[in-house]
Amino acid sequence: MSGPTSTDREKQPPLNGRRALPSNNSNAEENDVPEMDAFGLIPRGFNPKDYLRVVDIHMFKEPDEINKQQHHTDKYYNPKLIVRRGQPFQIQIDFSRPYEPEKDQIWLEYLIGRYPQPNKGTYIPILIGDVLKPGEWGAKIIHKENNSIRLSIMSSSTCIIGKFRFYVAIRTPYGIIRTHRNSATDTYILFNPWCQLDAVYLDDEKEREEYVLNDVGIVFHGDVNEVKLRSWSYGQFEENVLDACLFLMDKAELELSGRGNPIKICRVASAMINSKDENGVLAGSWDNLYAYGVPPSAWTGSVDILLEYYSSKQPVRYGQCWVFAGVFNTFLRCLGIPARLITNYSSAHDNNANLQLDFFLDDEGQVDNRLTKDSIWNYHCWNEAWMTRPDLPVGFGGWQAVDGTPQETSDGMYRCGPASVQAIKHGHVCFQFDAPFVYAEVNSDVIYSRMGKNGSQVIEKIDTTHIGRLIVTKGVGTDDMVDITENYKFQEGSAEERLALETAVMYGVKKQTTQPSTYQPQKDVEMDLQMQKAVLGSDFKVTIIFRNKSRNSYTATTYLSGNIVFYTGVTKSEFKKHSFSAKLGPLSSSAFDVMITSAEYLNDLLDQASFHFFVTARINETGKVLAMQKAMVLEIPILQIKTKGEMVVDREMSVVVEFTNPLKQALENVTLRLEGPGVLRTMKKEFRQIPATSTLIWEVKCIPKRPGLRKLIASLNCDALRHVYGELNIQIQKP
């Protein structure tokens, strides 16, 4: 390419002394490419029409044509050519006369960004050769007929991910003639999990179908004793979503030359998904007040969020962990990085990463909220992305934990990962990025202590198994829950687990290794806490069970505190206080019931309907304290979805959503949402009021666009009731 013309120079930003060209970090910006690059003075009689001319270019970019079929990109709702790197694709060029390789010199050019350079991979000239080398740029003729040639083009398996501009250049004695700028020939190049040379290569076809091509998934929530699930529409193939994902990298100002590296893309995206630092996609809100925004529980998928961000360029309100993780999953799958959403039950948010969560009790045995800074999330969702880690020793590739929820800063920004799951399991937390934080999320100990009389800290109980109790994800090709806890940690109490912990401590994870001398666990009395399952709006009972294993009679002063909590484990209000004296006979079990009525909790209930019960008991005869905590989630009623009429591509069908109000009060200002990738774009409807125990019916007409098994997902939201979902699998027939 020739140097910049004078008009170009005026547009160029001032150069700094360190680099010859400004940073090239926007896929959306372009430079002007001259259609005639003259070698010098052009003689008067020169007529470009005397030379070989390009008349037309065929990209074979329809969903049913060879390129999108072979590259698994036929589902993208996008008219342009989309291919995956490291795999050949075909185009056809029609010339003004038959092409003669002996006398005609032509080449292809792919450009990206405003300052294309060959050594940065942003300007790619391709000569036509005889063979294609695997994983390297090249082109060869596979068919010649009349004035046309059909080319097979191979892209590099480390190529930049993004949207490239395409030109054909023809050399004449007096200069280079190029095709003019034509956006119809723009080519998107994505990661390729089907290509063995790609850093994101995944060798199992079923896994590729799930982790790259499945556009709906499942979020597991609730808590470890009451796992709940809901569907989420990733919608990575929907219209404009691919452009929105590329815009995200532009907004983050990720240098184009770094966009072929999945590690860099994940790290930048984990900061861009939240709005904490650089006006990223989603603003988080955990305070149950969602003014001027959509409550996190109302979203049914990622598409609305990404498209709103793409058009407004401002953070979308509001997200909580599963929303950040859902949008992150869409971003990764859309670009071709295999990804899955995972849930960690009883997830530690450890403020000072010392592998222990400190709960301070006051004299009554209640948790002292002024001193207690750490919290246990009922569950926390993050993502795993599949890639090699050439920056780490062998063996740490595969699934990498990445988290878009803003919790703590990493290198000064709210981001987390990619951290090798294998490194976390073995305690090798020295390897980048943020492994100590993820290690703490799944491995911390819970320590209950209180201030002694002389101001010293007395440890009452250490619970080493409460955190990271269960880690799960959706099964491959099914909606089943798969337990992946052992990917993150060895069996509790095993020798390997202790070794992994010692390794983590050696690599600088802070932990008090010695058991404090003042700590003597209570052995002769055990306490357990059981809750009855309950539907929102009903009464239920909590049972405290003591097992006295000694030959002595004891009395235990017992204190139960029931709190309404955010799913992050932070308390909003205490709604139940109950204390009693329990008589414990020798070698016997005793059970004590405490009734909880709906009137006690309904007014303060938060959107996840979570309770947290704390029980402390002091054995009066020995002065020992027993402490225990348990989370509980109420059953929330579901939405019913039905369909009417035949379900055929391009024919109108009806979807009906029904809901019965379970509460003894009317629901005000209710919002319903319904979506289904390939069937209907998100629809919203507001209802002023649903009286107590009455049923609402909403019918929607739609025209499905894609055949096969699809999923409809609905949510209902109002101040008194959130996290109400429904879903339905439907089979759309071909016409």
Q: Which one of the listed residues 159, 266, 321, 334 is annotated catalytic?
A: 321
CB 439 within 8 A of CB 309: no
Show the tokens assigned to 574. 């205490």
Q: Are 399 and 376 in contact (CB under 8 A)?
A: no
Q: What is the largest CA-CA distance in the chain?
A: 115
Q: Give the strand pairing for 216-223 and 226-233.
A: antiparallel
Region of 353 (left: φ > 0; alpha: ψ -120 to 50; beta: rest) is left
SS3 state at 495: helix
Q: Is 427 left (phi over 0), alpha (psi -120 to 50) or beta?
A: left
105 DSSP β-pair partners: 171
177-to-99, 170, 597 alpha-carbon distances in Å: 15, 5, 82
Quick check: is 363 catalytic? no
| 443 annotated to a ligand binding site | yes
Catalytic residue among 215, 304, 374, 403: 403
The alpha helices in 481-631, defined as continuous H runs, are 485-488, 495-506, 598-601
Q: How many residues does the chain have?
A: 735
Q: Residue 350 corresponds to which amino acid?
A: D
370 Cβ partners below 8 Å, 6+ apart?
none
Distance CA 272, CA 251 (A): 8
The token duo for 604 is 């303060």
380 flagged as catalytic:
yes
CA dihedral 59, 61, 62, 67 (to 10 degrees): 110
DSSP calls for 293-361 = S--GGG--BSHHHHHHHHHH-S-EEEE-HHHHHHHHHHHHHHHT--EEEEEEEEEEE-TT-SSEEEEEE
- Give the active site residue among 349, 380, 612, 723: 380
φ/ψ (deg, to 5) at 283? -90, 130
Question: Residue 220's closest CA among 382, 108, 338, 393?
Answer: 382
492 marked ligand binding residue: yes
Known binding residue 497? Answer is: yes
Three-state DSSP string of 50-91: HCCCEEEEECCCCCCCHHHHHCCCCCCCCCCEEEECCCCEEE
Q: What is the per-residue burial (b if ≥16 Cβ within 10 Å, else e) of 339-358?
A: bbbbbbbbbbbbeebbbbbb
* Of the candidates 427, 441, 426, the residue with the CA atom closest to the CA atom of residue 345: 441
Annotated binding-site residues read: 443, 445, 492, 497
Q: Which residues are catalytic?
A: 321, 380, 403
Annotated binding-site residues for Ca(2+) read: 443, 445, 492, 497
